[in-house]
A and B are shown apart, each in its own frame.
Chain A
Amino acid sequence: MKTNNIVAAILLVIPLVIYCDVWFFDSVGPSLGGLPFYYWFQILMLAVSGVMFYLAAYFIDKK
């Protein structure tokens, strides 16, 4: 129970930490199909957030 919650907390925090590090993704290159890194990286992170949050929810509810 305890370890599950710790794992969940870590999974929840990772997207937050990455989004807060704006300096990391605030650049034009490498671009993807003409779209600057700044944009596509943030969109990609939405999908990553979804996966991480889903796993976190799984660990919280696992008995």
Chain B
Amino acid sequence: MIVFLVVFLFFILLGFLGSRWRKGNLSKLFEWSQTGGVLGPYLVWFLIGADLFTAYTFLALPSLEYASGSLAFYAVPYASMGFLMGILTMPRLWRIARKRGYVTAADFVQDRYNSKSLSVIIALTGIVATLPYIALQVLGMQVVLETMLLGVANVGILTEISLIAAFLILLAFVFISGMRGITLTAVLKDFIVLSSVAIIIIVVLVSYGGFHSAFSALAAQKGKAISGYTALPKTLIPAFLSMFIGSSFALYLYPHAINGALSAKSGKTLRKSMSLLPIYGIGLALLTLFGILIFAVPNALAIVKSTANGLLTMPAIALETLPQSIVGFVFVGIFIGGLVPAAIMAIASANLLTKNVVMPFKKIKPYSQTKLAKWLTVVIIFIALGFVFVVSPTYAIQLQLLGGIIITQTLPAVFLGLYSRKLDWKALIAGWIVGIATGVWLVLLANHFKTLATSIYPTPLGPLFIGIIALTLNLVVVVVGSWIIDVLGARRNGIINDAEFAIKEEVILKQANATKGK
């Protein structure tokens, strides 16, 4: 408890100090929400790592491995392939964004296709997909607090008060130091989380008999069903493939991922740090294995079984295997691991709302833009808190599942737009409608119109991730539609020239620096 508080105080201090670090004019939106693009490869590595591998991920993946076995490991190729997609798209987006002063993907879409309606759609899709994600961070932090306060009276109220307090503090420094403060705290968070994983793995391997005893305990409990844990059942291979490919597509379509990428100093920086991010994924993979290792720690298993909450897998193992002071250290890591990405997600959504939903209809002066984005960040965080406290957290989980499918439907406009100018905004909107409609409909069908628990649909080709099925239809509509519009000679050209993608980075940076002083 004391360790938890001490580290948390340090976290707050770093957050506020961020405003002084590599000083910039924080009343500008780009400076406040994307550090003015000063981050080098290592800071980008920490920032994006903290941004994408969130508290909820740390809790959900072990839970999935615990409950459904080897399929959960789709997260491992995802942690590699997501960054392949990043390397292919983000440096290109970075270049055009810095050249033309964009801070969101929807900014790019608007100019690329010369369409405000498409840009509004892309922005709203991003926001809708991100909101439940923020709510899940709150849920993850709640789980940690409840485990820590296990046995204390009035746990529920105490947890809610602490959570609200934590978010108020977070908002205070986000207001003052913006993305700079978040970047510094991200380094702290990554350090704590990665070292926690290492400590727990070593302890369980050395003192609890490691995987040998985990798998034999698992065999004793599951009987024949153990084959679903030792390797992937062949029938699930299509599901595994489509899950990791679909999630890799989705990763860099999420606004918070793009926001992190656009904070980089250069495209080169971005490529370098993204190429090393699969290494961060090793931590994620080891965490997923906690879903198996828990069978080697009977006391931890008892906690998960008695509460019937798989999300407790990782905290329960920490609680049962580590000395108390280190438990506090691990828990504060997960706790901050929720706060940091929640803040980036809220900032990215606020940017989208400000620049792509409000501004097309109402002109706002640059300084007022930042002010509006700051207040919208506050509103978004409170919506997420309200969601978990007032509405049920299970809705957040269901909406997050839908979010992964709908965000994938923005791929044609954003990613293909980076490489081709032949697409038309009308075809892209039609494809988006088809993609979203099929996606939502198939999810409802796959879950028999009850609680949404799966995003996999049984097709003649085998079980497939719905996001991929919907994206395929979406792409067909976009390509065929654009071709027809092109043949009719009705295509509206965007205002970005293809030659702009080929401009040398040094030239863009020089130009950007020249306008910075103004």
Chain A residues proximal to chain B, CB less than 8 Å = 12, 15-16, 19-20, 22-23, 26-28, 31, 33-39, 42-43, 45-47, 49-50, 53-54, 56-57, 60-61
Contacts and interface: CB of A to CB of B under 8 A. Distances in A.
A57 to B, nearest CB: 4
Given A34-B215, A46-B278, A57 B80 contact: no
Interface stretch (B10-18, B206-214, B303-311): B206-214
B282 A38 contact: no
Contact of A42 (B210, B211, B215, B285): B285
- Chain A contact surface mostly: helix
Interface of B: 70, 73, 76-77, 79-81, 83-84, 87-88, 205, 210-212, 214-215, 230-232, 234, 237, 240-241, 244, 268, 271-272, 274-279, 281-282, 285-286, 289
A12 B278 contact: no
Contact of A26 (B214, B234, B268, B276): B234
Contact of A54 (B237, B272, B286): B272
Contact of B271 (A36, A37, A39, A60): A60
The B contact surface, by secondary structure, is helix
Given A23-B237, A34-B211, A57 B272 contact: yes
A49 B280 CA distance: 11
B271 A46 contact: no
User: Which of A43, A45, A56 is most buried by chain B, counting CB atoms within 10 A of its CB?
Assistant: A43
Nearest to B284: A46
Nearest to B216: A34
Contacts of A57: 87, 268, 271-272, 274-275
B249 to A, nearest CB: 13
A19 B279 contact: no
B81 A19 contact: yes
Contacts of B272: 54, 57
Contacts of B76: 42-43, 45-46
B84 A16 contact: yes
B244 A47 contact: no
Given A22-B237, A57-B275, A61-B271, A46 B281 contact: yes
Contact of B80 (A22, A45, A60): A45
6 contacts: A28-B230, A33-B210, A36-B231, A46-B282, A57-B268, A57-B275
Contacts of B214: 34
A46 B234 contact: no
Contact of B211 (A20, A26, A35, A53): A35
B279 A38 contact: no
Contact of A22 (B215, B241, B279): B241
A37 B277 CA distance: 23
Nearest to A19: B77
A33 B289 CA distance: 13
B244 A19 contact: yes
Contact of B276 (A23, A36, A45, A54): A54
A14 to B, nearest CB: 10
A50 B276 contact: yes
Contacts of A28: 230-231
Given A20-B241, A46-B281, A34 B80 contact: no
A27 B237 contact: no
B217 to A, nearest CB: 12
Contacts of B268: 57, 61
Given A19-B81, A23-B237, A45-B76, 18 more contacts: A16-B84, A26-B234, A34-B212, A34-B214, A35-B289, A36-B231, A38-B70, A38-B231, A42-B76, A42-B285, A43-B76, A49-B84, A50-B277, A53-B278, A57-B274, A57-B275, A60-B271, A61-B271
Contacts of B276: 50, 53-54
B80 A15 contact: yes
B87 A38 contact: no
Nearest to B77: A19
Contact of A50 (B211, B212, B237, B279): B279
Given A19-B244, A34-B212, A53-B278, A26 B79 contact: no
A56 B285 contact: no
Contacts of B286: 43
Contact of A16 (B81, B215, B232, B237): B81
A63 B240 CA distance: 39
Contacts of B281: 46
Contacts of B237: 22-23, 26
